[in-house]
Structure 1
Amino acid sequence: MARLALYILGFVEIQEEIVTKKRGKLHELPWRPRAGDIIVSNWSSWVDVLWLAYRFDPIFVMPVFEEPKLSTVNVDPSPASYRPGRSKGSGVPSPSRLQATTSRSAVKGFRQMSLFSMIWATGHTPDRLTSNSVSQLKKLRQSAERPVVVFPECTTSNGRGLLRFVDVFEGARVPTKELQVFIMCIRYDPPTPQRPSPSHPIASPSLNPLPHLFTLLSPLSLQPMSVRMLPPSESPSSDLFLASEVAVDLTMDSLSEVCAVLMARIGKMKGVRFGWEDKVAFLDFYWRRRK
């Protein structure tokens, strides 16, 4: 059903590509996530959810947050990118690294989402999600009979960059011994006057995302879509993976930091320091201006 819906929407041919940076590797093992494995992806549209449902029949989870609190963090104004080699120096932050005060929310747990709940959640921020049933990701993964999809941005972007990742894997070590991680990035072509963008960063005021669905159907044109996947041999789950070759500054959630850098690399996207908490303030301003 999900593939039929994509076909009707114009996504007839979906390009899947395994992107490797290592020379001499002509053949990579295909992506075969199993039950309990983690698929980490960016999120810019409900079309992403449909494709994942068609391709892997996964379980979707979303984090449930505690009340946000102000904290001072080091912010690098440069976008997240891939930096080969080990970090050298005295450990003193560079002059380009600034301090900023931001509102961050701690992850209290996760809730399992149905396919239609994930489609409805597109464009919303996770503070709109409430649940009396909250579980830890490890418990959900261990009891899962299918792969588990995690969107570390926790809300949709405009598809042109990666939002700041939430610490969804706090405490996990890199390389990960206890779980298999598959990293991917979905990209769409920029919109044209004849072809609207599949990205859906702001939820529709009512019946979300039906108005956007009708917008995609109206031109009756083909929609290009590409899915770029990191080979399992270069995943943080690989025994040969070195976190120091990917991320310079590892935080309390080194796995999320590594996933952000690797996703930016394979998707050729820039990471921004704008997170879902910042989007809450932006949407409040946006809707007040439209009244």
Structure 2
Amino acid sequence: MTLEDLVESKWLNITSANDLLAATSRRDKRVVAIKDASLGLSVLPIPAIADSTANRYVGVRINLSAEDTIFVLAPTNYEIYRKGGTRDIFNAMWAEVQSGSIPLTRKPAKQDRKKKIGLKTAQFNATYGVPYSIARAAYASGEAIELETAPQVLEDLIANFVPVVEAATGQKTSFNSNLLLGYYPKMHMGYHQDNEPHIKGNIIASVSLGASAIMSFAEPKEHASDRSSKAAFSYPLAGTGGGMIQMGPGVNVDWWHKSECVGLARFVDTLRGLDESMVEGGGEREEGATEEEAKSGNEAE
């Protein structure tokens, strides 16, 4: 399976931020075109990094408040097809997952109060670096793989995307927690809140490879009674290496988000900088979930 087998053709031909805006104009009723959302939107072409003649990524900046911002990023045609670009990275990752070199599996979850045996996380995942402690899929062991031992393809993905994050935000990053998720048919993530108190800095960045996804954001009061139709805004996230950056102290406190995978297979790598001395506790819970339900639910993207 190649990237072209999973990705809509429109994502393979992005050359400008206007292309990215046009790609959000869909008839799919689940998607509210970000250019029409009643938020402070501004087109943000990401400066060239690897090649002065071509932009690697383009993006749209969504200003939720004076301090809180979401960046929606998409790789250009150049970035997808250059040697070592996102197409090469996806194909290498697909091969590594198929061979078992990347241990993307459902992990044992902590037992709930009813002492159920055999609970596992809903998503296929692998954690490298400092473990991200989350309530909805709390590992029984809390194990994580040392970041230094991550396979080369994951190192390539991180090395490729971090400069883009820093160029978009204008900030240096220090990520030490790396959560890789695998989405397969009928897998999704409901509305949840990454209420993670141990973030160092104010940036969480994720990059997607494979099938596209629809990301939706809502304020708690907007989706409390009807989570399916009260999104403040939604946008498609390109599976060609599309990225999302959440920046600011209120993004994961004042807003909830969900993800719907559109396709057969999608890999999402989320980067965080966590305070290693405070990784126990914290985490997230889906809106309306009990403690027991939370432990058997989805991972946080």
Instruction: Choose 1 or 2 for highest CA Rg.
Output: 1
Greater RCO (CA < 8 Å, at least 6 residues apart): 1
Where is the strand percentage greater, Structure 1 or Structure 2? Answer: 2
